[in-house]
Amino acid sequence: MLALASCAATAAAQTKEKPEWCKPLPRPEYKALERVLPDDPWFEVYKVAPSVFAIYEPHQAEETISYLIVGHKQAVLFDTGMGISDIHRVVTRLTSRPVVVLNSHTHDDHVGGNWQFPFIFGMDTDFTRKNAKGSRADAQAEITPDQICGDLPKGFNSSTYVTKPWKISLTIHDGFRVNLGGRTLEVIATPGHTPDAICLLDRENGLLFTGDTYYPAPIWLYRPETNLDQYVTSVKKIAALAPEVKLVLGAHNIPVAEPAVLPRLVEAIQAVRAGQGEVKPAEAGKELRSLNGFTFLLAASHQ
């Protein structure tokens, strides 16, 4: 996902009302998960599988989830969140192993803490290289009052908030493997949401980290960098893995889903592209299309 400011921002600021999205939180699915580091004021951290931690940001509308996957020798941080609070501090509390960052894709809500880490593996796309230079506009749109639930962290400065630039240490590609010691993560290129979207597969443990290619909430597919043909090809590719996957871990809202959602996702996006599903208009030339429990946020002109 990636937010654009809405005109509701002004209204929320004036009335100091809780934004709508924030009213049903906490999401009930979190009750079944083991919470760790409960004292952090911004992040909620959950142990979702052995040596796998979901680092969730429930105080911002994206409800972004980054994952720390720890092996005997090193760890992978799959996304670094909004950059609103100090994810590096959380990671060092969870592991003493060296940490390599991979990004599910380089929208601002997944790369905000990249600058804090020395080793960033990036996909070989112009989109990745452009985003690695940082940006201000997308970051600023994430902190309008309608996007924030509760308090921003102490010391956070809204006026200077940007996505800070980072350096790509190593270029990676489809099929690239990271050996963490006792567990291996395999990069699966899944372009569509963005040109540099990837999933990570821990084949031995049956874990598939799906980034924004799948998460259990409306899937955002409206930006100019989104390619729907590629998206369909990519979801077919990960749906083919469903029989060997035990847990699907997406990048927003709720960190765990059943692998059976993946083949159903293929059917849903194909049907929606064929014109099926319930349509609701959304702001600024977008529409929501819902079918069989899936919702997609599309450009109104999508095909």
Applying CB under 5 A, which residues contact Zn ion?
2, 107, 212
Q: In angstroms, what is the minimal distance from the CB of 16 to Zn ion?
A: 29
* Beta carbon of residue 124, minimum distance to Zn ion (angstroms, whole number): 19
Comparing CB distances to Zn ion, the nearer of 71 and 192 is 192
- Closest CB to Zn ion among 104 and 116? 104
Least distance to Zn ion, CB of residue 149, Å = 19
Smallest distance, Å, CB 38 to Zn ion? 28
Closer residue to Zn ion, CB minimum distance, 107 or 183: 107
Smallest distance, Zn ion to C-beta of residue 105, A: 5
Question: In the complex, what is the shortest distance from the CB of residue 165 to Zn ion, in angstroms, rounded to a whole number?
Answer: 18
Strand 294-299 relative to strand 219-221: parallel, antiparallel, unpaired? Answer: parallel
C-alpha 168/C-alpha 170 separation (Å) is 6
Q: How far apart are CA 79 and CA 109, in angstroms?
A: 9
Amino acid at 140: Q
Tokens of 185: 């993560």
Report the residue closest to Zn ion, judged by CB.
107
Residue 2 or 168: the one with the smaller Cβ distance to Zn ion is 2
CB nearer to Zn ion: pick between 79 and 202: 79
Of 94 and 123, the one with the shorter C-beta distance to Zn ion is: 123
Nearer to Zn ion, 107 or 273 (CB): 107
Shortest distance, CB of residue 193 to Zn ion, whole angstroms?
A: 6
